[in-house]
Amino acid sequence: MKFATLKDGTLDGRLVLVSHDLGRAVAATAIAPSLIDALQRWDAVQAPLQALADAMEAGTAPGIVAFDPAACAAPLPRCPQWLDGSAFLNHGRLMEQAFNTPPIPDFETMPVMYQGASDDFLGPRDDVPLPSEAHGIDFEGEFGVVCGPVPMGVSADAALSCVRLLVQLNDWSLRALGPHEMKTGFGFLQAKPSTAFAPVAVTPDELGDAWQGGRVRMKLHVQWNGERFGEPDGREMNFHFGELIAHAARTRRLSAGCIVGSGTVSNRARGAGSACIAERRVIEKIDLGAIHTPFMRYGDRVRMQARFADGRDGPFGAIDQRVVPAAAAAEG
């Protein structure tokens, strides 16, 4: 099944089911008013939601309309927790060089993770209001999972059975603020503004063979101002999502609707490009001896869309956003 949330002036939006080709949608509010409600009652609503999805595909469901990604909020406009890992070790090693930080202890055997803000996610076409270009505005293309209830101390293998949905996301970062916050030992706060999501969250079966071993085996195509930036593949994820979920739940339960991110998708091969500017900058420093790529400016756009190995567009839809001054966004 494919789910999206339409903006309706409420905090959690209005739940719709989306067709396989992302062309049509049908309201699911008679079964569950919002996606967070559906996740909290998953065992009770999964079968009727599937029946409605099947009826939409057959053209027999009442009220089928054209699907408009521009009308969407994030699939979950807010959630109980947003936990972002760094599961691509290539990216982590490059960031150590970028920020001139000492190696993280046990980096190759234990996932690292931060807890981000989960109360104000951005939709796929929302402008991104930020206070200053001097903060080093950067995008970070990732995949993520939405969990059902997760017991404390769950094993990595058992954690994979807790995955309800898969998502594609852009974990916005302010690079100039990151080094100080990392040195405090308390983690990110100001360096991590609101995260944005592609319009559609999907059940794992929608990926077919592209969901294997707890990894999204798809390329994430990233464009900056219409120019190719990279298409790294999620198959090189060193820690799979079960391991990330188990790490998060080692000493506490996770409630239904928690989102766990992969961290920036990153490949060892330089030809894959990057899913964030900071990674490209440190590669330039290593390979060329100097940094040439600036961070984003107001008016810049970034587009991200996952694609299958055969080139077909993925099931999540696209993120397509513009960076704007925070004051201008408030006035608008």
The mean predicted confidence, pLDDT, of the chain is 94
| Predicted pLDDT of residue 329 | 59
What confidence tens digit (pLDDT) does each residue in 195-229 have?
A: 999 999 999 999 999 999 999 999 999 999 999 99
Strand partners, 6: 14, 72
Q: Where are the domains of the chain?
A: 2-71, 82-331
Rounded mean pLDDT of 237-250?
98
Strand partners, 2: 202
Neighbours of 71 (CB within 10 A): 18
Residue 12: CB partners within 8 Å, gap ≥ 6?
Answer: 5, 33, 34, 35, 36, 37, 76, 77, 78
Q: How confident is the model at residue 18 (pLDDT cuts 50, 70, 90)?
A: very high
| Predicted pLDDT of residue 99 | 63
Give me the sign of the Cα torsion angle 312, 54, 316, 328: positive
Would you state the structure tokens that stand for residue 97, as one six-digit string? 């060089």
Q: How confident is the model at residue 104 (pLDDT cuts 50, 70, 90)?
A: confident
- The pLDDT of residue 106 is above 80: no
| Predicted pLDDT of residue 190 | 83
Distance CA 101, CA 96 (A): 5
CB 293 within 8 A of CB 116: no
Lowest mean pLDDT among 36-50, 92-106, 196-210, 272-286: 92-106
Q: What are phi and psi of 278, to 5 degrees?
A: -60, -40
SS3 180: helix
**Extended strands (E) in 59-140:** 65-66, 82-85, 113-116, 128-130, 137-138
Among 240, 241, 143, 116, which Cα is nearest to 198's?
Answer: 143
Exposure of 269 in the CB half-sphere (CA atoms within 13 A): 9
| Predicted pLDDT of residue 125 | 98
What confidence tens digit (pLDDT) does each residue in 265-300 have?
A: 999 999 999 999 999 999 999 899 999 999 999 999
pTM, full prediction: 0.95
Who wins on pLDDT, 100 or 7? 7
Q: How is domain 82-331 classified at the CATH fold level?
A: Fumarylacetoacetate hydrolase; domain 2 (3.90.850)
What percent of the chain shows pLDDT beyond 90?
85
Residue 236: CB partners within 8 Å, gap ≥ 6?
Answer: 88, 90, 266, 267, 268
Rounded mean pLDDT of 244-270?
97
Q: Which helix (H) or strand (E) holds 303?
A: strand 301-307
